[in-house]
Amino acid sequence: MGRKKIDWVSLEYKDFPLKNLLGKERRLQRMIEKRQGDIQKLQDTIKKELQKINRDIINIKGDLRNIRMVIKEKSKEVTNKGIYVLRGDKITRGKVRMMGESKWVHIGSNDVIDKFTNTGKTYGKMTDEELIKIIKIKLGKILTQFKIG
């Protein structure tokens, strides 16, 4: 068996002087080292880019979680128990607690005729159930308005 026989005839470098061969050897070693250094630099840049992208993904996931939480809260059906009708001498208002805040809804003056339910009654003479319907209508408009800042 033994080792494979070297075909000295087909080697192109066999006729080169020893000094030239040593120079070529060193030059080829430097080329390999340089290319390995280039590979390492590319791997470092890719690693930095991956870290940056992963940071962005984490931030986006946090924003998505917050948006889903707000959507869930805004899409809850407000029950009549959570709505309060406050009648004053001149105006009627509604109060609803949502997202940890009290939302105040101005219904209108007591002597104004309702334009939402078409009952022909003034706000002062309406029942609480009728006023709650109006509060829900107005609250829906408040929640769908776009706020800047």
Q: Tell me: the pLDDT tens digits for 37-55?
A: 999 999 999 999 999 999 9
Q: Is the pLDDT of residue 65 over 60?
A: yes
Q: Annotate 7-65 with three-state secondary structure.
A: CCCCCCCCCCCHHHHHHHHHHHHHHHHHHHHHHHHHHHHHHHHHHHHHHHHHHHHHHHH
Sheet holding 101-109, edge to edge: 83-87, 91-98, 101-109
| Higher pLDDT among residues 148 and 40, named by residue | 40
The ranges assigned to domains in the chain are 14-75, 80-144
pLDDT the model gives residue 138? 81
Q: Tell me: the pLDDT tens digits for 84-135?
A: 888 888 888 888 877 777 888 888 888 877 777 777 788 788 888 888 888 8
Q: What is the value of pTM for the model shown?
A: 0.48
The pLDDT-based confidence of 78 (bands split at 50, 70, 90) is low
H/E segment holding residue 138:
helix 128-144
| Higher pLDDT among residues 56 and 94, named by residue | 56
15-43: b (≥16 Cβ within 10 Å) or e: eeeeeeeeeeeeeeeeeeeeeeeeeeeee
Q: What is the mean pLDDT of the chain?
A: 84
